[in-house]
Structure formats: structure tokens, C-alpha cells
Amino acid sequence: MTDTVQDRPRIRRRRAKLRDGITPGLVIRYLVLIGTVLLTVFPLAWLVLTSLRNSADIFAVPVRVLPEAITFGQYIAVFSQYGLNGYLWNTVIVSIATVVLVILLAVPCAYAMARFRLPGAKVIVSILLIMRMIPVVALAIPLFAVFASIGLLDTLTALVMAHTASKLPVAIWLLMGFIQDLPKEIEESAQMDGASTLRIIVQIVSPLIAPGIGATAVITFLFTWNDLLLALTLSSSEASQTLPVGLTNFVSQFGIDWGAMSAAGVLMVIPTLIFVWFAQGLLVKGLVSGAVRG
Amino acid sequence: MTAAAQPAGRRWRRSPLAPSWQKGYLFASPALIVMIAILIYPLIYSFVMSFYRWDLSAPSQYFVGLSNYRDTFNSLGFKQTLRVQLIFSAVTIIIEVAAGMGVAVLVNSKLRGLKLARTLLLVPPMIAPAVVGLNFRWLFNGQYGLVNGILRYLGLPEAPWLSDPNWALVSVMIADIWQNTPLLVLLFLAGLQSLPQDPIEAAQVDGASPWGIFWHITLPLMRPILMIALMLRIIDTFRTFDVVWLMTQGGPGGATSLITVNAYQLAFQSASFGHAAAVSYVALAMSLLFLAVLYGAPWAARKLRRNS
């Protein structure tokens, strides 16, 4: 990803090649790059453009590419008419609570799995990987029955519990990799000095794997934030419905109000854009290392 | 493990302070208990219940053996679901992996703007599939959608993107390909950049064609990463739900009803939980089967070659 010292001669050679001039190959490469970027960006740009139009503009035939006038009316409507703040608040609470719980539970577990010679560790690791493969609907069906029987349906607690449990396997798996990459010497000398295991985890290992914890937290947050299926099955009223479920309500309840729907969609995507922009290194590291180790 | 870590590991085991495994389980147990209670127990429960007649409304639950599975495979709806799922998985996986590899190989050089492009490519895989589904539903809207608007402007025939069964499946696949190809581009780019450059440069010196270099050198070297990409996509196509649910809800007439959509409808619209549990385990079994083929086929081919 970033240029390391060994890469420098290679870069110099490439630069020399660049100086040779524009080749047909180079033109093709740039065309592919530009085409890929345009295809990636344009559906999202269209979502943003739609959210900034008034209703007459949205239903214009033929389609107008640029809005006649930019209005924030759809964003206001989303809050005043569709009660988006309730969905937003639920989503924020569920996502943050899940991230906190997942990190608190996953760090000691990953540490124990990476550093203690646990009997059965291999079995646990393979179960973690199988959990990654389970379709969410296979979990949603029995969870609905279980939460119905203990009266937790349609509560934020149920959502946080379900998300915490379902995001833990990937989180433990990612963190194990980061801990295994640490040299053991520091922990050993701390242990010689009489530090307890808890202290080693909190004061020594956690700061050292801070990027790993960051990557795990961001990935857990986004997957919880984006989840539709668990929220759709476990919540039935506005008391616990999250944004993705709110989006389905735009379809069924009111016909489809495309302008408001687009505004809600844009608001939902904003945290993702923030994390992609400011934490892309962490995200790529987490996604790729999780994939490669899988 | 590196050479430096090896002796350290040995010392650890011999040290009088060596951590006991009981203590390890003490630290692992909170997470393990949460996963057993909220993840593994419900999954086992639903697997067991897939052999029962299980209705949330009716109090009686009785053992019916394989009949939920038999009913599933005999029902007309599920045959369609299976066909839709296989087309969806095969087409999206092939296009996503091929396009991902193609783009990655072509942009893998010092191009201006590649860093920005990498950032932008991370956006589609990370945004909510629900938003992607609704957005593509809007783009493919028959009357007011941008896609038909462009076709009309160009004087081309419009397509019934979401109202025609065959086109609906195509539309859903386009949305899935848009969302998931960029992650494969990033994965392949990371892989290409970690490849040894010597064999490629040697081939260039020998005057090999770019295509020859790709086919005979790059692709074989990329095999492990290619396998990972295929594995990820196989697992995820059998988990896809959100995009389809917001674009078509499995319609029209079940034309886009993937296995997960079918399971959801059985459970939460027909209240037939036993059937739904059976169907959701069919989805898992199929993704395991695909993975077995993925890892088994090269192994079998090697074995055959060695024997002949």
C-alpha cells in the first residue's frame, strides 16, 4: 500500500518509464481508472442530486440531469414528517453500544486465544470461521423466537445483544491476528515484574494493538449501522426500529417518496463516508487482513 | 512465525510464570458465553427445529423428520428460488471476480489519482446494502428513473428493469456487482503489489506480451488471493438479502427470490418457522458445497494428474 524503502528503486524505474512519454497502454490504463471511478461515483451522486430536488423536479419527464433549484426541503421533511430522528437515535445507540461491548469482550478473548495454550482453541477458531458463513436469516429466525419467549422483542436491548453476539466472531478473529503479530518479550518482562494478566491486556497489549482495535471498532460499527435483517425481524415499532428499517417504511407506508427516501439514504451514508475518508487505512487493513487470514 | 519469535515461545513455556490454560479460559469466557447464548444456542435450536413442525402461533411442536426439507425441495416456489439463486451466484461471482481482476491489473501502476480512486472504491462496499437497493430501485424506475431517461434520450428502447421477471434479476445483479466489485479491485491491487517483480520483469526483458505475462505469470502467482476472493464472494452471495429486499422484495412473482429472501418470507410472512429454518440451512449447505468444490476441484485435478 504505502511505499516502503525496498520499493524505491522500482518507483524510480517506473518514473523513468513515465518520462518515455505517453504510450497507448498508459492511455488505456487511465481510461479504465477514470471509467471505474465514474461508475463508482455516479449512482451515489445521483442519490445526492435527487435529495436536493423538489418533488416536481424529481418527477420531471424527460429526466433533468441537474436540479432546477437546490432545496433542502427533503431533508427537513425527513425529520418533520417521517420522524427520522427516532430511527437515527436508535441506530446511533445500538451501533455505539455494540461497538463498546464487542471491543470489551473481544480483546481479552482474543488475547487468551492468541497467548494462552488453550485446549480446544482450534475448535473455537473453526467455529468462529463457520459463524462468518452463516446467513443472517438463519440466526434471525430462532432469535425472534427466543426473544419473543423472554419478552425482549422490539427493544434496543435485544438488538444490541443480537449484534454483539453476531459481530464477535469476526472481531475476535481480527484482533487475534494483531496480537499474534506482537513480540512476546514486552509481555514477558511485564509479567516478570509482577503485572497481572488483566494489567498486561489493558496497559500493554491494548495500546500496542490500538490500530487493530480501531479497525475492528470501525468495521463492527459500520456493519451494525448498515444491518437491515436483524433489525427488521427483532423490532416491530418505532420504539426500536433503526434507519435501514426506516427506509423500508418509506416503501410500504407512504408509497415511495423518492426525494425524502434519497435524503434519508444520504444521511445514512454520511458516517460511512466519514470513516472511509478518515480511517481508510484502518478499514483496508481490517478488511484485507481478515480476508487473507481467512 | 519468525526466527526471533521461536526461542521466545519456547522460553515462555518453560518459565515458571507460564500462564495456565484455566486462566486463559477465564479471560476468554465472557465472549464465549455471549456467543454460546445468543449465537450458537439459537442456531442449534433452529437446526433442531428444522426437523419439527414449528409454528409460532400454534403451541404444538412435533417431530416431522426430514419432511420440512422434503417439502422445501418439492415445492414449486423453492425450485424457482434455487434457480434464481444459482444464476445470481454464478453470474455475479464470475463478473465481479473477472472485472475486479481486470481493473486491478490495468490500474496497477503509478497512475495519477490512484490513491483517490482507492478511497472512492472503498465507498460502495461499506455503505448500507439497503441504501444501495433503494438507490438502484430509483435509478431503474420505469418512468422517472435515470437509466431509462438516458436510454430515451439516446433513442434506444427502454427496459422494464424492475417490472419484468427476467429484467428484475438482471437489475438486482447489477446492484450487487456495483456494490461488491470495488472491494475485489482493492483486494487484488493489494495482492498485485505484494507479488515478486523479478519474474515479471524477466519476462518483459524476454519480450513476452502483456497478455502472456498476465496469463502465465501474474495469474498463477495471484492464485491464493483469487481463491480468497472466490471464497468471500461464495459465502456472501448465499447471505445476500438487503439489496434484493429493498429493490424487489423477491418479486415480481418470485423472480428475484434468493434463498435468504425465501426463508425470510416463510418465517415472517407465512409464519412457518420450521420450513424457514430448513431453507436457511439449505443456504448454508449450498455455500459449504460451493466452497468444497472450490477447494476440492484443484486438489482432485492434481491427484488425477499424478495418477495418470
B301 interface with A at CB cutoff 8 Å: no
- pLDDT tens column, A201-248: 888 889 999 989 999 999 999 999 999 999 999 988 888 899 889 888
Interface contact A265-B134, CB threshold 8 A: yes
pLDDT band at B127 (very low <50, low <70, confident <90, very high): very high
Q: CA of B303, closest CA in chain A: separation in Å?
A: 25
B274 interface with A at CB cutoff 8 Å: no
Give me the total of CB pairs closer than 8 Å, taking one residue from chain A and one from chain B: 314
Mean pLDDT for the stretch of residues B240-257:
89
Bridge partners, residue B53, by sequence:
B62
B184 interface with A at CB cutoff 8 Å: no
- The percent of residues in chain B predicted with pLDDT above 70, rounded, is 93
Q: Which chain B residues contact residue A36 at CB under 8 A?
A: 103, 107, 117, 121, 182, 185
- B205 located within any domain: yes
- B255 located within any domain: yes
- B11 located within any domain: no
Is pLDDT above 80 for A39? yes
Q: Which residue has the higher pLDDT, A25 or A142?
A: A142
Residue by residue, what is the 3-state secondary structure of A198-253?
HHHHHHHHHHHCHHHHHHHHHHHHHHHHHCCHHHHHHCCCCCCCCHHHHHHHHHHC
- B7 located within any domain: no
DSSP B127: S
Residue B15 and residue A117 in contact, taking contact as beta carbons nearer than 8 Å: no
Residue B132's φ and ψ, nearest 5 degrees, are -60, -45
ipTM, two decimals: 0.85
Average pLDDT, chain B: 86
CA-based nearest residue to B230, from B274, B290, B173, B270: B290
Is pLDDT above 80 for A8? no
A97, amino acid identity: A
Interface contact B276-A294, CB threshold 8 A: no
Nine-digit cell at B295? 477447494
Bridge partners, residue B62, by sequence:
B53
- pLDDT tens column, A150-187: 888 889 999 999 999 999 999 999 999 899 888 888 88
In whole angstroms, what is the distance from residue B81 CA to residue B87 CA? 10
Closest residue to B27, CB basis, from A46, A111, A229? A111
- B58 located within any domain: no
- Which contiguous run of DSSP H or E holds residue B62? strand B62-63
Interface contact B134-A116, CB threshold 8 A: no
Is pLDDT above 70 for B199? yes
Mean pLDDT for the stretch of residues A26-41:
91
Range of the domain at B244: 68-299
Burial category of A18 from C-beta neighbours within 10 Å (exposed 0-12, middle 13-18, buried 19 and up): middle
Q: CA of B37, closest CA in chain A: separation in Å?
A: 8
Is pLDDT above 90 for A109? yes
Is pLDDT above 80 for A132? yes
Nine-digit cell at B35? 456467543
- B221 located within any domain: yes
- pLDDT tens column, A237-275: 888 899 889 888 877 655 788 888 899 999 999 999 998
Q: CA of B228, closest CA in chain A: separation in Å?
A: 7
Domains and CATH numbers, chain A: 7-76 (no CATH), 78-293 (1.10.3720.10)
- The percent of residues in chain A predicted with pLDDT above 90, rounded, is 38
- Which contiguous run of DSSP H or E holds residue B87? helix B76-107
- B116 located within any domain: yes
pLDDT at site B1: 38
Q: Which residue has the higher pLDDT, B198 or B308?
A: B198
Average pLDDT, chain A: 85
Which chain B residue's Cα is nearest to A294? B228
B194, amino acid identity: S
Closest residue to A145, CB basis, from B17, B116, B273? B273
Judged by CB atoms within 8 Å, which residues 211-240 of B form the interface with A? Answer: 225, 228, 231-232, 235, 238-239
CA-based nearest residue to A210, from A188, A182, A170: A182
Mean pLDDT for the stretch of residues B64-83:
86
Interface contact B32-A135, CB threshold 8 A: no
Listed in sequence order, the DSSP H helices in A116-154 are: 121-133, 136-149
In whole angstroms, what is the distance from residue B267 CA to residue B280 CA? 10
| Residue from A63, A117, A175 whose CB has the most chain B CBs within 10 Å, to mutate | A63
| Residue from A133, A150, A256 whose CB has the most chain B CBs within 10 Å, to mutate | A133
Interface contact A135-B128, CB threshold 8 A: no
CA-based nearest residue to B118, from B104, B98, B128, B132: B104
- B54 located within any domain: no
- Which contiguous run of DSSP H or E holds residue B232? helix B223-237
- Which contiguous run of DSSP H or E holds residue B63? strand B62-63
Interface contact A262-B138, CB threshold 8 A: yes
Number of domains in chain B: 1
For position B235, which CATH number holds? 1.10.3720.10
